[in-house]
A and B are shown apart, each in its own frame.
Chain A
Amino acid sequence: MTVRVVLVDDHHMFRTGVKTELLEAAPGVIDFVGEAANVEDAVAVIRKEEPDVVLLDVHLPGGTGHGGVDVIHGCVGVETAAGAPVRFLALSVSDAAEDVIAVIRAGARGYVTKTISATDLASAIKRVADGDAVFSPRLAGFVLDAFGVAAGEIAEVDEELDRLSAREREVMRLIARGYQYKEVAKELYISIKTVETHVSSVLRKLQLSSRHELTAWAMGRRLI
């Protein structure tokens, strides 16, 4: 089954490059159904095409000046023909923590930098289309920092929103070490599916946690 993708980026060259590379690296997997260069066009295209995945640049002209975050807010509730929500994968040159936290908390299912290889990007797109989360090592490092894991805070119960569980911490640490999901699974003697569950759960915590340290952490670095 092909993944229907809308590509949102304000650089024409970059859009062309990504399309060419992806079609070469994973032929027959990805179907580009539309593209846009600013917030308004992006929202219109996404509402019209209802794609599975939106590859979203973090910095975009238009809207209220928040770029990718505005696009996500503008597409709340849009569903694909199959009834799944439209999922966003953020793609940016910036690996500044403020961009990461903003776009993830707005609802993106993952964050990759533009230096990612085409093969990795294709598998990230598939993963996001399946409803899983995509964490880069840097994003994992950010999560570990923001949730105070480095300082030794571990949740007693998995459901706790403000801290990571011991297992989630292990998964995040391995991802930060540059491990692929399948390597993480092998290392921890669990299935890839379980790894994906843990990562999705961390993503949910990152999006929903009202942990005041998360805010304070961002404030301390003048991110908000």
Chain B
Amino acid sequence: MQSSPQAVPRLTRPTQGRVLAGVCRGIADHVGVDVRVVRILFIIVGMVSGAGIVAYLFLWAMTPVEETLGAGRPIDPAQPVSAQAQNPPSPERTGGTAMPRGSVLLAVGVLTILVGGIALLQGTGTDVRAGILLPVLLVAIGAVVAWAQLDATQRARWTGIAGWRGLGMARLAVGIGVVALGLFAFVTRGQSAAQVWDVALATLSILVGTALICAPFAVRLWSDFRREQDARVRETERADIAAHLHDGVLQTLALIQRGADDPAYVVTLARKQERELRSWLYGSNEDPSQTLAAAVTAAAAEVEDLHSVAIDVVVTGDRPLDEGGTALVRAVREALLNAVRHGSPPVSVYVEIGPDAVEAFVRDHGAGFDVDAVPHDRLGVRESILGRMTRHGGTARIRRREPGTEVILTMPHQEPDPDAAPRARARAGASSGASAPSAASAAAPAASDANGATTMNGAPRIPETAEPTTIQGESIR
């Protein structure tokens, strides 16, 4: 969830580790300097000319709140969903009062300084025109309180925490009240209450009249705005779909029409387009360079395109792609290439990404092949599959099936998930009884251990009786 260290984070106002509205913290994160430096700079500039305060308010208004809190955590397919479901978001992330305590202290301090400063100036005989300054100050404070509430509402929408509505409304009311008081004080300077009443009534009637006239326009403007916004969203979506159809489906259809006399070509095109459309409609959009499942799927798709033979891919579980995983994917690809070249369809691959190892099964229905019969100069099977797997600490077996061949690849995880260990042990206990019937492991465990080293060197000393042929590397653990 964290952005990578190289990437500069967007300028946002974080909800954690802030004093007032998070502007300084946000800038510090964005620029990459200590937050204290930013704060001191703001205070100095604010003290000297007041520009700091204006800049702070401007940034407060214009900078969006950090959004990560409300975004749902993606489910990690490699972890059992139960574990993820039972693991609630950590409390320090969801907590956080709407207004940090520091801001109250800050507000009190600033007020004290202001009042003290005014009193001091009055005392020295300078006319600070308190009659104007105080109401303006009141209006400003009220506005800040009301805006802060707006800010909190926005944040509550991201975090999904409703908070205490009553408090929010009270704060809004206080803010508006203070602004009204300030305006009132401003207007009533040195006038009697009766005069003010007349003025207030006149102002109110003008306001109401204006509102009455403007309301229909405002409503229409608002609904127009909404409609336009909706239309734009739909338009974007439509353009997205149209672009995809144009780049993919229409091109393919054109190619199919031109190549209609070549059935194999048409089948390849149709199959490729189907896969692409399918992954666009239902796909997980995982990056093949990141996760094992996506990498296997991509490798199978590549082989499918190269040889226009349909390959059924089934993958369960997932994990990040590491070195062993990459080797496994390459071996799977090689096995698939063999299957589509020498075997016959249906070709299928099943990859099970378990807690302690990855197992891959590549199956075809051809005449089958014999490792012994493979010429020495043909490196495909021996080097790209068997050699590669053993070099990375995995194992490879090739089994003759009644029709066809099955290549079985196993690659233990290089750094086992610590919390998966107990489950892995439980599973090993369960499967030792259940999965034993695999003829290879039952028939030739001793033989495979004995000849494992020689076969690794490429010497063709595979016992003729060993069918299915078993080739294993050094002990895995």
The contact of A150 among B82, B310, B353, B433, by CB within 8 Å, is: B353
Residues of B61-100 contacting chain A, CB below 8 A: 74-75, 77, 79-82, 84-85
Contact B312 A220 (CB under 8 A): no
Contact B312 A151 (CB under 8 A): no
In the complex, A173→B427 CA distance in Å? 14
A94-B348 contact, Cβ under 8 Å, with A150-B353, A166-B431, A217-B81: no
The contact of A152 among B310, B355, B437, B439, by CB within 8 Å, is: B355
Residues of A190-222 contacting chain B, CB below 8 A: 212-213, 216-217, 220-221
Chain B contacts of A140 at CB under 8 A? 314
A131 CB within 8 Å of chain B: no
Hey, what's the 0/1 contact readout for B430-444 against A, CB within 8 Å counting as 1?
110111011100000
**Smallest CB gap from B427: residue in A:** A152
Hey, what's the 0/1 contact readout for B42-69 against A, CB within 8 Å counting as 1?
0000000000000000000000000000
Tell me the dominant secondary structure on chain B's binding face.
mixed
The contact of A153 among B80, B85, B435, by CB within 8 Å, is: B80
Chain A contacts of B350 at CB under 8 A? 137, 141, 173, 176-178
B315 CB within 8 Å of chain A: yes
8 CB < 8 A contacts A-B: A137-B312, A141-B314, A145-B77, A148-B82, A152-B427, A166-B433, A167-B434, A216-B82
The contact of B85 among A166, A173, A216, by CB within 8 Å, is: A216
Contact A213 B316 (CB under 8 A): no
Among B27-35, B367-375, B418-426, B459-467, the stretch that binds chain A is: B418-426
**Smallest CB gap from A211: residue in B:** B82
Hey, what's the 0/1 contact readout for A139-178 against B, CB within 8 Å counting as 1?
0110011001111111000000000001101100100111
A94-B282 contact, Cβ under 8 Å, with A141-B315, A152-B420: yes
In the complex, A145→B354 CA distance in Å? 10
Contact B352 A150 (CB under 8 A): yes
A138 CB within 8 Å of chain B: yes
Chain B contacts of A95 at CB under 8 A? 278, 282
Contact B354 A151 (CB under 8 A): yes
Contact A177 B81 (CB under 8 A): no
Residues of A within 8 A of B (CB): 94-97, 115, 137-138, 140-141, 144-145, 148-154, 166-167, 169-170, 173, 176-179, 183, 187-189, 212-213, 216-217, 220-221
A212-B82 contact, Cβ under 8 Å, with A150-B316, A188-B437: yes
Contact A148 B81 (CB under 8 A): yes
Hey, what's the 0/1 contact readout for B326-342 against A, CB within 8 Å counting as 1?
00000000000000000
The contact of B352 among A96, A97, A173, A189, by CB within 8 Å, is: A173
Hey, what's the 0/1 contact readout for B176-195 against A, CB within 8 Å counting as 1?
00000000000000000000
Q: Which among A151, A167, A173, A217 has the highest number of chain B CB atoms within 10 Å?
A: A151
Residues of B within 8 A of A (CB): 74-75, 77, 79-82, 84-85, 278, 281-282, 284, 310, 312, 314-317, 346, 348, 350, 352-355, 361, 363, 401-402, 406, 420, 423-424, 426-427, 430-431, 433-435, 437-439
Write the nearest CB–CB distance from A174 to chain B, whole angstroms.
Answer: 9
Contact B433 A151 (CB under 8 A): no
Contact B346 A178 (CB under 8 A): yes
Contact B430 A166 (CB under 8 A): yes
Chain B contacts of A187 at CB under 8 A? 437-439
Chain A contacts of B312 at CB under 8 A? 137-138, 178
Write the nearest CB–CB distance from A96 to chain B, whole angstroms.
Answer: 4
Contact A183 B401 (CB under 8 A): yes
Chain A contacts of B439 at CB under 8 A? 187
**Smallest CB gap from B347: residue in A:** A178
Chain A contacts of B80 at CB under 8 A? 148, 151, 153, 213
A-B residue pairs, 10 tightest by C-beta: A220-B75, A152-B427, A178-B348, A150-B317, A141-B314, A166-B434, A96-B282, A152-B423, A151-B80, A150-B316
The contact of B426 among A115, A144, A152, by CB within 8 Å, is: A152
Contact A176 B314 (CB under 8 A): yes
A213-B81 contact, Cβ under 8 Å, with A150-B316, A178-B363, A183-B402: yes
Q: Which among A140, A141, A149, A189 has the highest number of chain B CB atoms within 10 Å?
A: A141
In the complex, A95→B314 CA distance in Å? 11
A212-B85 contact, Cβ under 8 Å, with A141-B350, A169-B434: yes
Contact B361 A177 (CB under 8 A): yes
The contact of A154 among B310, B314, B430, by CB within 8 Å, is: B430
Contact A213 B352 (CB under 8 A): no
